[in-house]
Amino acid sequence: MPIARPARCATLWLTGALTGALLLTGCGGGPEASSESSEDAPGYPRTLSNCGHKVRITAPPRQAVSLNQGSTEILLSLGLADRMAATATWTDPVLPGLREANATVPRLADNAPSFEKVLDKEPDFVSASFESTLGKGGVATREQFEKLGVPTYVSPADCVKDNSGDGDGSRTTPLTMDDVYGEIRDLARVFGVEKRGDALVGRLKARVAKATKGVDASGTSVLYWFANSESPYMAGCCGAPGAITHAVGAKDVFDDAHEEWPQINWETVAERNPDVLVIGDLTRKQESAETAAKKIAFLESNPATRSMDAVRHKRYVLLSGQAMNPSIRTVDGIEKVAAALRRFGLDQ
């Protein structure tokens, strides 16, 4: 998917002074710990297995840097703004309920920051939603941070897929909401706020249960269009859109595609003729037809798409880009798709 890949390569050269400063201040004077005391977070140092790496945490982080919005919104939802030194790589406005907390955390860049800019914040923990963010061509590799004593964490929902190609990866095993809940619990454990993690997971599960109660859309087909009108990115079977589709009991029209976001021509889309179109309403400006309004205008004027059932009946569901990623916003996607199916009379 286009938002998964940082466009800016990291600069790998460091001055001796910068390196020395980081090593001396790896857990340096950040904000005071949040309301949960160290007594509520016993057992340091602690080690997590994460995407093939052993992540050793010697103390609850005080100067964390989150390099993707999905990870950032989990940390903010866990009440950890006072332990965050900076954020970066934003694709949507922050969730409304997190605006106040987010305003207290510096933003390094809307896109990928340089390695030096991250190190200037003297981080004692770095998290990311995508392997590409902490890989070659991203901000820096995990090994580069770890050589400086900075533990890193990548969302397991991303590393369980095959990211070896040039696209956005492919999955053989479908993503589930349990993958998202596992990330929340991991990050809560890193910071020693496990009770908050359990509470957040409980709230998200309750929202999913409420949204999908009584919904059985087994006779309904759904298509997810993320971006680009010339060579559109459509959801394959097994990413976050697949988790949304599974939750409401519907069928993804491209459930035979294992790529995360394959580019599919409009003639093929029209042949599949989905009942409902879930449309990314994006605020970025990287591809053609980013906003939902531009997507809908295209669908209703293009000869290949204007006769599709979903277009003729205006069965559109608008989601943020983050809701189409494995994140806490995927729950928003489940709620909005379930509500739309009820509104369209397709929930039974």
pLDDT confidence band for 25 (50 / 70 / 90): very low
pLDDT confidence band for 6 (50 / 70 / 90): very low
For residue 4, pLDDT over 70 is answered with no
Spatial CB neighbours of 334, under 8 Å, sequence gap ≥ 6:
207, 208, 211, 212, 243, 244, 247, 248
Contact 202, 177 (CB under 8 A): no
Percent of the chain with pLDDT over 90: 80
pLDDT confidence band for 13 (50 / 70 / 90): very low
Q: Residue 267 burial (CB < 10 Å; 0-12/13-18/19+)?
A: exposed
Which architecture, in CATH terms, is 214-344?
3-Layer(aba) Sandwich (3.40)
Site of tokens 């519907």 = 250
Predicted local confidence at residue 221, as pLDDT: 97
For residue 217, pLDDT over 80 is answered with yes
For residue 274, pLDDT over 80 is answered with yes
For residue 38, pLDDT over 60 is answered with no
Which architecture, in CATH terms, is 2-205?
3-Layer(aba) Sandwich (3.40)
Q: Six-digit token pair at 128?
A: 């990311």
Classified as helix, coil or strand, 65 is strand
Predicted local confidence at residue 164, as pLDDT: 84
Percent of the chain with pLDDT over 70: 88
For residue 287, pLDDT over 90 is answered with no
Region 3-7: mean pLDDT is 39
Predicted local confidence at residue 9, as pLDDT: 30
Region 21-42: mean pLDDT is 39
Tell me the pTM. 0.86
pLDDT confidence band for 11 (50 / 70 / 90): very low
pLDDT confidence band for 114 (50 / 70 / 90): very high
pLDDT tens per residue across span 173-206: 999 999 999 999 999 999 999 999 999 999 999 9
pLDDT tens per residue across span 226-273: 999 999 999 999 999 999 999 999 999 999 999 999 999 999 999 999
- Closest to 323 measured CA to CA, from 235, 196, 201, 257: 235
Region 206-213: mean pLDDT is 98
pLDDT tens per residue across span 72-95: 999 999 999 999 999 999 989 999
pLDDT confidence band for 52 (50 / 70 / 90): very high
pLDDT confidence band for 41 (50 / 70 / 90): low
Count of C-beta atoms within a 10 Å radius of residue 209? 10
Q: Domain-by-domain residue ranges, the chain? A: 2-205, 214-344
pLDDT tens per residue across span 117-174: 999 999 999 999 999 999 999 999 999 999 999 999 999 999 989 988 777 899 989 9
Spatial CB neighbours of 198, under 8 Å, sequence gap ≥ 6:
185, 188
Q: Distance between CA atoms of 233 and 289, rounded to whole angstroms?
A: 11
Predicted local confidence at residue 289, as pLDDT: 81
Contact 127, 50 (CB under 8 A): no
Predicted local confidence at residue 91, as pLDDT: 86
- Do the domains at 2-205 and 214-344 have one common CATH topology? yes
Largest Cα span, the chain? 65
Q: Which amino acid is at 343?
A: R
Predicted local confidence at residue 288, as pLDDT: 77
